[in-house]
Copies of this chain bind each other. A is one copy, B any other.
Amino acid sequence: MKTSRYKTAQECLKAHNIRPSLHRLAVIEYLMNNAAHPTAEEIFSSLYSAIPTLSRTTVYNILKLLAEKKAAISLDIDPRQAHYDGDTSLHSHFICLGCGAIEDMESDAGLLSELTRRKYPSGMLVERVELNYRGICRKCLSKEQKPAGAT
């Protein structure tokens, strides 16, 4: 149930053959310490206070690089913008239709690996499988019930 298989940002970049510049370290570290699946903009504005010379383009460049080298995952979950996940282990996502929150579902690792390995009759080569749940999260459920009373 490890959230990241690397202890440090350094280690993670090295393992994926990415040269560890200060900005790259900052981005990957942010991803590793953030289970919130941030967008490029969220990463940029969070880091900007600490690194005022940081450019938005740099964040986009780094995220693209991280995804290419498989140090992070780009999630096609939100039609508005891409979300990024520093946890590259097999897991699925729950997306709340109410508040948009994205939660990890670690329990599907076995299912996902089986679906990836399986042979498919149409003869395609499956490289990865993504499983997304959409619904209402616990927080939004409790908000819905309290103010209403009768329905």
Contacts and interface: CB of A to CB of B under 8 A. Distances in A.
A15 interface: no
Interface in A113-142: 115, 120, 122-138, 141
Interface in A49-98: 74, 76-79, 82, 94, 96-97
Contact of A124 (B76, B126, B136): B136
A53 to B, nearest CB: 28
Judged by DSSP, the binding face of A is strand
B125 A135 contact: yes
A134 B141 contact: no
Interface string A32-64: 000000000000000000000000000000000
A103, A125, A126, A138 interface centre (most CB from chain B within 10 Å): A125
Given A103-B122, A122-B138, A130-B134, 18 more contacts: A74-B79, A76-B78, A94-B126, A96-B124, A103-B124, A115-B131, A115-B133, A123-B141, A124-B135, A124-B141, A125-B136, A126-B133, A127-B134, A127-B136, A128-B133, A129-B133, A129-B134, A132-B132
- Across chains A and B, which 8 residue pairs bring their CB atoms closest together, nearest first? A127-B135, A126-B135, A123-B138, A125-B136, A125-B135, A130-B132, A124-B137, A126-B133
